[in-house]
A and B are shown apart, each in its own frame.
Chain A
Amino acid sequence: MSDDHQSCSILSAGEPAATRSAAPMWIIVTTLVLLFLGGIYFDRHSGWFDAKVYAPYASAENLGAYQPQSGPAVFLARGRKNYEAVCGICHGPDGLGKPGQAPALAGSQLVNCKGFDRLIHIPLAGLAGPITVAGQGWNLNMAAMGAALPDDDLAAVLTYIRSSWGNTAGPVAGDDVKKVRAAIGRNPQPLGGAQTMAMPE
């Protein structure tokens, strides 16, 4: 290549250099509008980074509105919770009881029967003395473990044990517990085993 070829106008004007120039106004405005719209979308749909909030729920508040509040399933769940806290320690979370501590509730004729007044009476007043459950004799003392539970909670517990582990008896309502509690009075005495077995259902 000859020197003549390099003598074009660019070189004669010197090395080109990048210069600073202001960003066009429309880019700035568009960016700000997009940021604003993005902010609105984020506010409506993000759940504010709450790890518990997934789409389609928009916020923790929206998710909270869809939590179950009532109904038979909730009543049973409440019964199970109380059962496992109060009764399950001796009768077992599986309702099978513990040898020398408590008889099984699963398949027990005291639980799985048509009426429930006698069943309500046991946790409210306690039970002391020999009883027979599913053909096996037990001679133990049970304190009035359910006396401290509110009527609704005890009803939920009894409904739970009457419909779990193969038991198929019907539900117990809070009012039923209230009636029995009123009949027992303020100073409950544990019933003897024979008395309990002789009680009407």
Chain B
Amino acid sequence: MKTGISVFLAAFVALGASWCGFVLAPMLQLGGAKQTVVLQSTDNWPLQRTGDATLGLQIYRAYGCAACHTEQVRQTGAAFEITLNSLGVQKPADFIEFTKSLFVLPELAAYTNAIATGLNDWNGGLPKTLLTSTDKDIVTEMADRLKAVGVKSETRIVATGADIARGWGSRQSVAADYLYDQPVQLGGLRAGPDLANIGVRAPDANWQLAHLYAPKSVTPASTMPSFKFLFEVRPVGATPSPDALNLPKEFAAAAGYEVIPKPEAKQLAAYLLSLKANVPLYEAPFTPVMPPNK
């Protein structure tokens, strides 16, 4: 075979090029990733997990949770949102009249309908989202005009997309979120909801444990299999265990018995509670909702 060396070189270049693209380039780009900081704060992100939660990650892996759950929130866009915080001395009716007067401005004309529909069924409650747009100039223009008439507003940055709308997170998942995951378990199928923020959505350890023991006890429509083998049903001793699950009546153990999580269940719950990828980062910015100031 006279062309053997050319065939070998061609195959080598083809494989080498894909290795460079899929292995070398990501390694150069993200291989040196370090802890970063939460946007507008001095907090580090992400934090190393506690011992229990680190063990829990391996249990999450062993029972194949990633077969039905993802740990990745997707985002398709970002937008600016103007939220009214206070009308100052204005009354809601006057304010609606004022915004109508803004509609004659050519740069705001495209938003006329959106704002008008939003204000039609507005009962004067605050805070109120007035305008959502990807055009920063329009939003700045609107905010300046509101400021000029003494109305207090805040311009917020919001992530958009189906996952965000489902309440699975305030922003997309980025590489920094998985810094301490070994292995990273993104998952590929969403038979169940995304878990990237389950520690924020369900911060109660008893909820997590009850959900593992009998998923239907906390989510009636759940199709998740029960993980009863992670629990022990035993007679109540002289004093009830502080670890005993607090379950609704139809799922609770028989009288005189209590449901105790085995260490594995506690570790898995600790891992689930540690999933809180919901802080703003430079690479995934959003304006967090501040607790109301009394």
A→B interface (CB under 8 Å): 17-18, 49, 51-54, 56-57, 63, 65-74, 76-78, 80-81, 84, 163, 168, 170-171
Q: Which among A17, A52, A76, A81 is the interface contact of B290 at CB below 8 angstroms?
A: A76
Does B224 count as interface, using CB distance less than 8 angstroms? no
B31 and chain A: residue at smallest CB distance: A51
Q: Which among A56, A66, A67, A80 is the interface contact of B41 at CB below 8 angstroms?
A: A80
A93 and chain B: residue at smallest CB distance: B42
Binds A, one of B54-62, B116-124, B154-162, B199-207: B154-162
Cross-chain contact A53 with B40 (CB below 8 angstroms): no
What are the residues of chain B within 8 A of A66 when measuring CB–CB?
78, 157, 285
**Size bracket of the B interface:** 20 to 34
Cross-chain contact A81 with B78 (CB below 8 angstroms): no
B→A interface (CB under 8 Å): 2-3, 25, 28-30, 33, 39-42, 75-78, 85, 136, 154-157, 172, 174-175, 280, 282-285, 287-288, 290, 293-294
Cross-chain contact B283 with A73 (CB below 8 angstroms): no
B294 and chain A: residue at smallest CB distance: A168
Q: Which among B25, B283, B293 is the interface contact of A163 at CB below 8 angstroms?
A: B293
Q: Which of B3, B42, B156 has the most CB of A within 10 A?
A: B42
Bound-state Cα–Cα, A71 to B2, Å: 72
10 extra A-B contacts, CB within 8 A, seeds A56-B75, A63-B283: A51-B30, A51-B175, A54-B174, A54-B283, A54-B284, A70-B155, A81-B40, A81-B42, A170-B293, A171-B293
What are the residues of chain A within 8 A of B41 when measuring CB–CB?
77, 80-81
Cross-chain contact A74 with B29 (CB below 8 angstroms): no
Bound-state Cα–Cα, A37 to B40, Å: 39
Minimum CB–CB distance from B67 to chain A (whole Å) comes to 26
Q: Which of A68, A72, A76, A170 has the most CB of B within 10 A?
A: A68
Q: Count A/B pairs, Cβ under 8 Å.
A: 72
Bound-state Cα–Cα, A179 to B157, Å: 33
B158 and chain A: residue at smallest CB distance: A66
Minimum CB–CB distance from B173 to chain A (whole Å) comes to 9
What are the residues of chain B within 8 A of A71 when measuring CB–CB?
154-156, 287
Minimum CB–CB distance from B246 to chain A (whole Å) comes to 27
Minimum CB–CB distance from B9 to chain A (whole Å) comes to 16
Cross-chain contact A56 with B76 (CB below 8 angstroms): yes
What are the residues of chain A within 8 A of B76 when measuring CB–CB?
56
Bound-state Cα–Cα, A18 to B157, Å: 63
Cross-chain contact B40 with A73 (CB below 8 angstroms): yes
Bound-state Cα–Cα, A74 to B78, Å: 18
What are the residues of chain A within 8 A of B283 when measuring CB–CB?
51-54, 63
Cross-chain contact B294 with A52 (CB below 8 angstroms): no
Minimum CB–CB distance from A45 to chain B (whole Å) comes to 14
A81 and chain B: residue at smallest CB distance: B42
Cross-chain contact B25 with A68 (CB below 8 angstroms): no
Cross-chain contact B172 with A54 (CB below 8 angstroms): yes
What are the residues of chain B within 8 A of A54 when measuring CB–CB?
172, 174, 283-284
Bound-state Cα–Cα, A36 to B78, Å: 29
